């Protein structure tokens, strides 16, 4: 009956089989792939060679321009393959699980200073878990954000509940928040669904504020919270991070070991049963869906049905795996029909209440869509497009029948603005 209540946003319904049990199962996949976060492709230096055995949390690659930012092994294992694109841009580092491997413990000499904390986060492999806006991707090493948004809610279809991920880790979460508040001068917002507050008042010297948000998509998407709470501009970047990663930061500070398991929901129409698992970043999607996939061709996607992409490994920051049946290839349409229907893209968008709600009624949606479609970057920036990324407009793209290509238009606009205006 939640669907009948009034309020901004939508509750998109996708079919998926039931989850067996509420408790997550621990799964460490035999293979894992390390990739860089989405955003501009990054040039890296591999720190290991193929065949090396590394412990969990050991650095396997670092950024070429900022060697202190390291990518770490999500499990103890053997480096199977390092593949780089031209220009030493990382494609992926594949690892095989070795049960006998150790776990790297990081030294924490001066984590009470902002510089020390940054250093620890960068060397421990936590830095790529942060994402900055505008433009997306991980922040540069010395960047100071105007605000940090901690997403303790996720309204995407099939998303696991961050509250469940935080169960029993409240102290670590508060420790993580306390640390984050040292990284920026502005506020740290904890966005949660209505219920008990996830952190006690007064954490971070009053810098941490809890915000209750309606549990409808896209309001639980980080972009719309950035837009509502602290708009990102070129001069004032805003970071966002998942609440589970904040708890991981708390654990890292307490023990020196970065926890490498995250709550992941495996769901979708192409499954016989949905699963809730705790697995490592970069987990092998085929192994996560083994013996659960329904017969027939299917698509394995990292991410939600709205903003996911077909992948082999669980993408950085993703906490969902979606399995959809692959539609059989039909007969190609008649050339005349193609000539008529495939021309004039992107198609015009008709303003409806559905479009307004697909943007959470948070901004003049039609004006933004028209500005993106016509390449009017100035208007789009004025309307708050710098706070948004592709995943935030996934719902609008879905609602509009996939003809508007908003994610592509938004990315093109952000790239243009970055080239022209960003320092």
Partner 1 sequence: MKGLWDRETVALMLLAAYMPLALFWVWYGGAQTLVGLGTAVLCLAVWNLVFMLARAQPPSFAALITALAIAMLAPEDLGALRMVLGISFGAVMGELVFGGWGRNVVNPATVALSFLGFGFPGFAWPGFDDPVIWAAIPAALIGIATGIMPAAVLAGAILVGGAALALGAPVAAALPAAGIVLVLLVADPVTSATTTVGRWMNGGLYAGLVLVFATGWSGAAPVQMAVAAALLTSLATPLLDEIAITIWVAQRRRRHGRN
Pick between residue 183 and residue 365 the one whose CB is nearest to partner 1: 365
Cα separation of 145 and 370, whole Å? 30
Q: Which of 116, 233, 311, 376 binds partner 1 (CB under 8 A)?
A: 233
Q: Is 403 in the site for partner 1 (CB under 8 A)?
A: yes
Pick between residue 220 and residue 305 the one whose CB is nearest to partner 1: 305
Q: How much of the chain is helix, strand and coil, in % rounded to 5?
A: 25, 25, 50
Q: Which of 246, 292, 355, 410 binds partner 1 (CB under 8 A)?
A: 355
* Choices 75-83, 258-266, 290-298, 362-370 (CB under 8 A): range interacting with partner 1: 362-370
CA angle 223, 192, 234 (to 5 degrees): 25
Q: Is 333 in the site for partner 1 (CB under 8 A)?
A: no
Q: Let me know if 14 is exposed, middle or buried by CB neighbors in 10 A (0-12, 13-18, 19+).
A: middle
Cα separation of 137 and 130, whole Å? 8
Parallel, antiparallel, or unpaired for β 31-34 and 89-97?
antiparallel
Pick between residue 230 and residue 292 the one whose CB is nearest to partner 1: 230
* Choices 21-29, 98-106, 229-237, 275-283 (CB under 8 A): range interacting with partner 1: 229-237
Q: Is 417 in the site for partner 1 (CB under 8 A)?
A: no
* Choices 76-84, 193-201, 208-216, 348-356 (CB under 8 A): range interacting with partner 1: 348-356
Q: Is 238 in the site for partner 1 (CB under 8 A)?
A: no
Q: Is 423 in the site for partner 1 (CB under 8 A)?
A: no
Question: Sheet containing 188-192: which strands, arranged edge to edge?
Answer: 131-133, 238-242, 147-151, 188-192, 208-212
Pick between residue 115 and residue 422 the one whose CB is nearest to partner 1: 422
Helix (H) or strand (E) holding 242: strand 238-242
Pick between residue 83 and residue 338 the one whose CB is nearest to partner 1: 338
CA angle 354, 358, 362 (to 5 degrees): 115
Cα separation of 148 and 180, whole Å? 8
Q: Is 366 in the site for partner 1 (CB under 8 A)?
A: yes
Q: Is 230 in the site for partner 1 (CB under 8 A)?
A: yes
Q: Which residues bind partner 1 (CB under 8 A)?
A: 14, 230-231, 233, 235-236, 305, 324, 339-341, 343-344, 347-355, 363-367, 382-384, 398-403
């Amino acid at each position: 009956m939640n669907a009948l209540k009034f309020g901004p946003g939508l509750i998109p319904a996708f079919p998926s089989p039931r989850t067996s049990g509420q408790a997550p199962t621990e799964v460490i996949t035999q293979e894992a792939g390390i990739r860089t976060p989405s955003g501009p492709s990054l040039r890296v230096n591999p720190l290991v060679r193929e065949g090396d055995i590394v412990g969990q949390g050991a650095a396997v690659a670092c950024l070429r321009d900022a060697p202190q930012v390291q990518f770490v092994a999500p499990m103890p294992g053997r480096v199977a393959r390092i593949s780089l694109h031209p220009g030493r841009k990382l494609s992926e580092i594949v690892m095989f699980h070795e049960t006998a491997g150790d776990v790297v413990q990081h030294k924490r000499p001066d984590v009470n200073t902002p510089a020390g904390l940054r250093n620890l986060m960068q060397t421990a492999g936590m830095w790529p878990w942060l994402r900055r806006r505008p433009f997306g991707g991980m922040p540069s090493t010395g960047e100071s954000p105007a605000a940090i948004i901690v997403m303790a809610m996720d309204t995407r279809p099939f998303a696991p509940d961050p509250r469940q991920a935080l169960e029993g880790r409240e102290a670590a979460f508060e420790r993580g928040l306390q640390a984050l508040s040292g990284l920026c001068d502005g506020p740290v917002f904890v966005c949660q669904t209505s219920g008990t507050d996830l952190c006690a008042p007064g954490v971070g010297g009053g810098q941490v504020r809890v915000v209750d948000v309606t549990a409808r998509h896209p309001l639980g998407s980080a972009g719309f919270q950035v837009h509502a709470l602290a708009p990102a501009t070129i001069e004032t970047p805003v970071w966002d991070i998942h609440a589970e990663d904040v708890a991981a930061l708390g654990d890292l500070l307490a023990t020196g070991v970065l926890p490498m398991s995250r709550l992941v929901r495996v769901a979708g129409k192409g499954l016989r049963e949905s699963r809730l698992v705790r697995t490592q970043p970069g987990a092998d999607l085929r192994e996560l869906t083994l013996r659960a996939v329904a017969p027939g061709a299917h698509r394995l996607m990292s991410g939600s049905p709205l903003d996911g992409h077909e992948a082999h490994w669980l993408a950085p920051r993703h906490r969902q795996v979606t399995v959809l049946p692959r539609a059989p290839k039909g007969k190609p349409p008649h050339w005349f029909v193609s000539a008529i229907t495939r021309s004039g893209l992107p198609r015009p968008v008709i303003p409806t209440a559905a479009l307004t709600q697909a943007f959470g009624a948070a901004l003049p949606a039609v004006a933004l869509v028209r500005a993106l479609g016509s390449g009017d970057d100035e208007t789009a920036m004025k309307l708050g497009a710098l706070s948004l990324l592709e995943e935030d407009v996934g719902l609008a793209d879905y609602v509009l029948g996939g003809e508007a290509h908003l994610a592509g238009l938004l990315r093109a606009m952000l790239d243009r603005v970055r080239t022209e205006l960003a320092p």
